[in-house]
Structure 1
Amino acid sequence: MQQRRNTHQRQLVLEAVQGRCDHPTADDIYLEVRARDQRISRATVYRNLHLLAEDGQITSVRVPGGERFDRRRDDHTHVVCRVCGAVADAPLPYLDELDEDAARATGYEVTSHEILFEGICPTCQKSLRDQASDEGHEARGA
């Protein structure tokens, strides 16, 4: 791993990611950092997010339609909402035996894995139930 100079901009980006629990997008981080330093560009934030992930200081989480960033650096799973795109940690154990199973099945030397569950978050579930209920009332002329 290459030793990088810790710039002021990179430190701002790192602090922004570490200060959040919600798996922000690059744009979320850009807006937060931009509020602290109006001279920082979107490209600088994006570049620094990827450098920080490459250096293992944050985690990049690939989700349908984009990428999120996580302050947690340990191996863990995520769940993404198919309706609103929210991402959360799934409190499940990391299973080393999956690496071993994949290695045996493929001949690869497997060093890690990522698991992403997809579903509908509790907020969207409620919204969909409320919407269905409202449509039911309208159909009955309520």
Structure 2
Amino acid sequence: MERRNTRQRQLVLDAVRDLDDHPTADEVYLRVREKDEHVSRGTVYRNLHVLVESGDIVSVKVSGGERFDRRSDNHAHLVCTECGSVKDVPAPDVEDARREMERAWGYADVRTSTVFAGVCPACQKKSQAAR
């Protein structure tokens, strides 16, 4: 189903692109409201998911929620398990595994999403300082 590109959807997409640090839905909502105070939270959330479905942005599931990535190219994410920050990192080579999934299970157009988790340097420093 093709959806028309509404003004609100463009505002949401622009906000994700402007906030290049994997914003939350609330951060996107606040940025959109700076441009148009009449756009509702529900409209922003709905349009975020339409943009994910269309491949314009990527949803990154993190502990306690979801972040959004303006990059839809092949890359992985490194998520801090303490503060929830998200970094773009090179994707591991999974092409052989992807092809094997298609062959063995009969699936077509198999896609992958890789998320690595760990504790970021800033959270490590905070933890060491608290000791």
TM-score (norm 2): 0.89
Distance 2:93 2:66 in 1: 21
Identity percentage over the alignment? 51
Q: Deviations over 1:105-126 (max 9, x none)?
A: x624261111111100111111
User: Residue 20 of structure 2 aligns to a residue in which SS?
Assistant: coil
After TM superposition, the runs of 4+ consecutive aligned structure 1 residues lying more than 6 A away are none
Give the aligned residue type for 1:34: R
Q: Deviations over 1:25-73 (max 9, x none)?
A: 1111001111211111000000000011111111111222211110001
Q: Which structure 2 residues correspond to residues 1-142 of structure 1 after superposition, within 5 A?
A: 2-103=1-102, 107-109=105-107, 111-132=110-131
TM-score (norm 1): 0.83
CA RMSD of aligned residues (A): 1.7
Evaluate the alpha carbon distance shift between residue 46 and residue 26 of structure 1 in structure 2; reply closer, same or farther with a 3 A threshold: same
Evaluate the alpha carbon distance shift between residue 94 and residue 16 of structure 1 in structure 2; reply closer, same or farther with a 3 A threshold: farther
Give the aligned residue type for 1:50: H
Asked if the contact 1:30–1:42 (Cα under 8 Å) also holds between the matched residues in 2, the reply is: yes
Distance 2:25 2:18 in 1: 14
User: Residue 66 of structure 2 aligns to a residue in which SS?
Assistant: strand
- Any gaps of 5 or more consecutive residues in structure 1? 133-142
Give the aligned residue type for 1:88: K
Rg larger for? 1
Asked if the contact 1:76–1:94 (Cα under 8 Å) also holds between the matched residues in 2, the reply is: no
Asked if the contact 2:77–2:89 (Cα under 8 Å) also holds between the matched residues in 1, the reply is: yes
